C-alpha cells in the first residue's frame, strides 16, 4: 500500500508568469494565473487530504529571477517530505540551457532576468526533502527532463539507450521532472 505524504512536512511552490513588458519579446500568458489557482485547489483542497494552504504557496508574476530563486530556496529549506515546484510561463533556451522567465525578462537580458534551470535544479537537489518534484509548463521544458539538447530534431531516447550511453548513477539524482514539451519544442496553451 502506498504511503501518503506527510503534508505537514511538505511544501508546494507554484510560480506563474502571465505578464511581460508590453511590446517585449515574450507575449502574455493569461492562462498562467488561472493554472496557479487550479493547481493550488488540486494540491490543497479545502475539504480533502492534501497540502495545507499555508504550505502551498503561489508566486504570481515575479519581477526578477532572484525573487524566484529566493522563494524556491525557502520552499526547499522548509520541506522534509515532499517538495513540489510548479512553473508556468515562458521558457527560453540559450546555449543549450533552459531559462525560466520572470515578468521583466527580455531576450537581451535573459541571463540576468530569467532563472537558469540549472540553478533551480541545484537548489532542489540540495533540499533534504525525501521526494522532490518539478513540473515545468513552458516551452523547451524537455531540456530539464532529459538534461540533453538535440541539434535539430526532437530528442527521442529510451531508458536502455540512456544506460548504454554511459549515464551514471550521478545523473540520476532523485528529482522527478515533468515537462510540458520536448527540448526543442514550444508548449501549447
Q: What are the boundaries of each domain within the chain?
A: 7-160
pLDDT at 178: 86
Q: Which residues does 65 contact at the CB level (< 8 Å), separation at least 6? A: 100, 102, 105, 112, 113, 114, 115, 116
pLDDT at 111: 95
Q: Which residues does 53 contact at the CB level (< 8 Å), separation at least 6? A: 44
User: Rounded to 5 degrees, what are φ and ψ at 67?
Assistant: -65, -40
pLDDT at 155: 47
CB-CB contact of 17 with 89 (8 Å): yes
- Minimum mean pLDDT range among 61-70, 85-94, 164-173: 164-173
pLDDT bucket at 167, cuts 50 / 70 / 90: very low
CB-CB contact of 133 with 87 (8 Å): no
Specify the residue for cell string 527521442.
156
Q: For residue 184, how many other CB atoms are within 10 A of its CB?
A: 17
pLDDT at 25: 92
pLDDT at 152: 41
Cα–Cα dist 145/91, whole Å: 13
pLDDT at 164: 47
pLDDT at 172: 52
Each residue of 89-120: pLDDT tens digit?
999 999 889 999 999 999 999 999 999 999 99
CATH class of 7-160: alpha beta
Amino acid at each position: 500500500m502506498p504511503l501518503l505524504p506527510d503534508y505537514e512536512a511538505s511544501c508546494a511552490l507554484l510560480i506563474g508568469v502571465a505578464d511581460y513588458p508590453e511590446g517585449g519579446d515574450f507575449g502574455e500568458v493569461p492562462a498562467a494565473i488561472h493554472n496557479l489557482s487550479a493547481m493550488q485547489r488540486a494540491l490543497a483542497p479545502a475539504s480533502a487530504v492534501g497540502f495545507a494552504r499555508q504550505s502551498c504557496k503561489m508566486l504570481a508574476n515575479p519581477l526578477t529571477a532572484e525573487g524566484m530563486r529566493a522563494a524556491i530556496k525557502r520552499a526547499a529549506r522548509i520541506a522534509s517530505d515532499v517538495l513540489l515546484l510548479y512553473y508556468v510561463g515562458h521558457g527560453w533556451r540559450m546555449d543549450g540551457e533552459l531559462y525560466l522567465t520572470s515578468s521583466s525578462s527580455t531576450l537581451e537580458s535573459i541571463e540576468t532576468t530569467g532563472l537558469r534551470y540549472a540553478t533551480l535544479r541545484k537548489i532542489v537537489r540540495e533540499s533534504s526533502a525525501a521526494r522532490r518534484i518539478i513540473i515545468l509548463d513552458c516551452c523547451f521544458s524537455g531540456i530539464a527532463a532529459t538534461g540533453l539538447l538535440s541539434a535539430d530534431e526532437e530528442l527521442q531516447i529510451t531508458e536502455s539507450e540512456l544506460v548504454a550511453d554511459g549515464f551514471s548513477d550521478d545523473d540520476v539524482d532523485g528529482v522527478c521532472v515533468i515537462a510540458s514539451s520536448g527540448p526543442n519544442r514550444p508548449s501549447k496553451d
